Amino acid sequence: MNLARIFRSLRTAGSRKEPAQDGFLDGGRRTGESDNPYLSARRTWNDHAAQAASSRQAWQLLALLSLLVALAAVGGMVHVASQSRFVPYVVEVDTLGQHAAAAPAQLAAAADQRVVRAAVASFVADARLVTPDIALQRKAVYRLYSMLAANDPATAKANEWLNGTDESSPLKRAARETVSTEIISALPQTADTWQVDWTETVRDRQGVLKAPPFRMRALLTVYTVAATPQTTEEQLRNNPLGIYVRDFSWAKQL
C-alpha cells in the first residue's frame, strides 16, 4: 500500500472548498455556482434583503435607546421641578420692631412629654367643661375635636358624650348648671397612655354648689402624626404638633 499517495490525496481533499461556501460574488453569483441567471438574481435579492433587515434592526435599537434616554431626562426634570426651591426664614424682632435674629425655618421637633402632658390635660378640661357662654363652649368643643381623628374610637365616644343625654351633653346641661375642672396631675403610664386626675365642681346657674367637689380619673391613649402636604392650614393652627387621642375612658373616684 502506497501511504504517500493516500496522504497526498487527503491533503488535496482537505484544501478543496465547496462552491456554496465561498463568500465572494462573481457576476451576481457565488464562485463555482451555476450560470443560471435566476439563481444569481435570487442570491442578489437575498443578500439585499438581509442587509436591509440588519440595517432596520440597528435603527430600531438606536430608536429604543433614544426613547429610554428621553424618558430618563423627562423623569429627572419632573423630579427637579417637584422639589421646593423656596427656603422659609423666620425673622425675630424686638419690642421696638428692630431685627434681632433670622434663620431658616426648621421642621418641628417631636413633642416631648411636657407638651403631651399639657395636651391631654387640655383635652380633659375641654371635654368636661360646661359653661353658659356659648362662644366659650364652642371653642372648647373645637379644640376637643382638633385632637380627634375620624376613625379612632375616641371620636365615637366624644360624639356620644357631647350629643348624648341631658346628663352628658354640655349644651343641655348649661341650661341648669355649670361644671369646672381643676387638673391635679397628668402622668404617663406607658409610652402612649396617660393618666389624668382632676377635681370637678358642679354649680347651679346661681353659682351654688350642687354637690361637694369630687375626684375624677381618665386614661388617654395618644399618638402623634407628622404634618403632610394634605394637612390643612386650619389643622396646623388647631393642632400644630399633631397630638391625637386614640381612645379614652374616665370614671369618678370613690
CA distance 63 to 251: 74
Buried b / exposed e over 20-34, threshold 16 CB at 10 Å, is eeeeeeeeebbeebe
pLDDT on residue 13: 46
pLDDT tens track for 201-226? 999 999 899 999 999 999 999 999 88
Predicted local distance difference test score (pLDDT) of residue 156: 95
pLDDT at residue 98 in the model: 72
Q: Around Cβ 126, how many Cβ atoms within 10 Å?
A: 21
Burial readout 168-197 (b: 16 or more C-beta within 10 A, e: otherwise):
eebeebbeeebbbbebeebeeeeeeebebb
Which pLDDT score is estimated for 110? Answer: 63
Superfamily of domain 113-252: VirB8 protein (3.10.450.230)
Q: pTM for the full model?
A: 0.59
Weakly modelled stretches of the chain, pLDDT under 50: 7, 10, 13-24, 26
3-state SS class at 62: helix
Q: How far apart are CA 34 and CA 154, in angstroms?
A: 96
- Gap between the Cα atoms of 24 and 131, Å rounded: 107
Could you state, in order of their start, the residue ranges of all structural domains in the chain? 113-252
Residue 14 confidence (pLDDT): 46
Tens digits of residue pLDDT in 39-55? 667 777 777 777 877 88
The whole-number pLDDT of residue 181 equals 94
Contact at 8 Å (CB) between 161 and 168?
yes
Q: What is the pLDDT of residue 217?
A: 96
